[in-house]
Amino acid sequence: MANSENHDLDSLSANGGIHEDEIDLIDYFMVLWRRKYFIFLATVLPALFVAVILFFWPRNYRTTYIYDVKGDTRDDTRGWGLNEKNYNVLLGVFYSDENLKKITERLSESGLEKYAKLLGGRGNRPERFVGFEAKPAFLDLSKSNINNPEILSQIRNMEASLLEVTITGKPLEDIYKMSSVVRYNIENVIPLYIVQQQLLSHIRNCNNILADIESGMFGLRLSLKKDNEMLEGLKKVNTGISEGKQDNIMLQFDIGRDARYLPLSYQIQAAESRIIEQETQIRTNQERYEYYEGLLRLNNKILAELNDRLASGYTVEQFKMFLEGLSGGCEEQALKEYLNSYIKRIENRLLAGGPIAENPQVHLIAKGTAKKSSITFVAALLMSIFAIFLFESFSKEKVGIS
């Protein structure tokens, strides 16, 4: 039967009654029509299955906390100084194994073992559950045509004003618990990493100041020795000048090297002024050296505390208590005042560390049921048509062989 139909179609094509491409289209349509029920089931059932699964699948929820991060980290520990470099450092610190371990421990304590395993497991992406976004967003210089060095420098140093932290999870009850854990980490643990970076900067600054003082002390002492020797020599030769004339004129300006053109009595007065000035500068430098040396020891001690305790869930409040203990046992008044000022900044961190809105809205995340079902429908339709033509081709080959 099939052979006779094929023979008739071939004869029609050969006689020119019907074009070959028209016969192919009709043949294809007839094949699809014969398999219409298969196409219907193979297309509708997968799409319906996907729609039902998505309909009963638990909904994901999302909430976003917004932090005001505008500030100068050099002056206040509550500021983030969130330029692009510091933003990348923040992401690296938050998603580090050390910090994720702290988060997973608190999640387990809160009864969220599921999220603790997801965040702490190898190969998982914590960005799916906690995401960060700086506002305004940083410009990707690799995609820009800016060549002006000044503009490039300004763009690189541009700081974000807001930091958005988006937390995603399910069910609704868990999103509140997870948000509490993440907020605790951001507001009480992450700032200590900022303080750690600040301390490293302070230590480098103290070392530079001490080095500058040390390098200048030799020149001051050498100049003082030279002026003392010169003063002694001037006094030896100043025997013919009366004391009365010396009291009538007082030098009011630093005449420097021109002092040698003055009478001997005024040269002596200029030398004595330089000696007094240099002795005062040496004493000032010694006091500054002692202060910065003590400040360096203090900063190293504070940094050692952070390095030892950060891995064990250390918080800003505990750090503040440590500083208060240091202040109570500090005998040097200048360092005590420095510590008290630093403690005030830590208190600012605690007061201003929260988000702009304490209880932001929780939004449902759209499942995309219609879109995903439509994609499944189209994919199943194409696959079913391909399967039908493939089956027909094999059938014709078998018939031809037989």
Q: Which of 274, 190, 189 is nearest to 230 (CA)?
A: 274
Helix (H, G, I), strand (E, B) or coil at 78: coil
Q: 89 with 161, same domain?
A: yes
Q: 89 with 166, same domain?
A: yes
Give the Cα separation of 332 and 347 in Å (integer): 23
Q: Which of 200, 188, 195 is nearest to 314 (CA)?
A: 188
- Using CB atoms within 10 A of its CB, is residue 275 exposed (0-12), middle (13-18) or buried (19+)? middle
User: Among 77-81, 158-162, 371-375, which stretch is predicted with the lowest mean pLDDT?
Assistant: 77-81
Helix (H) or strand (E) holding 138: none
Q: 250 with 297, same domain?
A: yes
pLDDT in tens, 277-300: 777 777 888 888 889 999 999 999
Residue 5 has pLDDT above 60, yes or no: no
Give the Cα separation of 3 and 55 in Å (integer): 50
Q: Which of 78, 91, 99, 90 is nearest to 313 (CA)?
A: 99
- Using CB atoms within 10 A of its CB, is residue 366 exposed (0-12), middle (13-18) or buried (19+)? exposed
Q: 71 with 51, same domain?
A: no
Name the residue with higher pLDDT: 23 or 218.
218
Give the end of a domain, one of 294, 312, 330: 312
Give the Cα separation of 283 and 109 in Å (integer): 58
Query: Per-residue pLDDT averaged across 153-162, rounded?
Result: 80
Q: Which of 372, 383, 302 is nearest to 335 (CA)?
A: 302
pLDDT in tens, 93-127: 899 888 888 898 888 888 888 888 877 766 678 88
Examine residue 229 and state whether it is found in any structural domain, yes or no: yes
Which domain range does residue 85 map to? 61-189+355-364
pLDDT in tens, 362-376: 887 777 777 888 888
Examine residue 21 and state whether it is found in any structural domain, yes or no: yes
User: Which pTM value belongs to this model?
Assistant: 0.64
Q: Please state the φ and ψ torsions of residue 365, each to the nearest 5 degrees.
A: -95, 125
Q: 44 with 88, same domain?
A: no
Q: Which of 31, 50, 53, 32 is nearest to 378 (CA)?
A: 50
Q: 203 with 277, same domain?
A: yes
Q: 269 with 308, same domain?
A: yes
Q: 204 with 284, same domain?
A: yes
Total structural domains in the chain? 3
Q: 39 with 124, same domain?
A: no
Examine residue 327 and state whether it is found in any structural domain, yes or no: no
Q: Which residues share a beta bridge with 64? A: 166
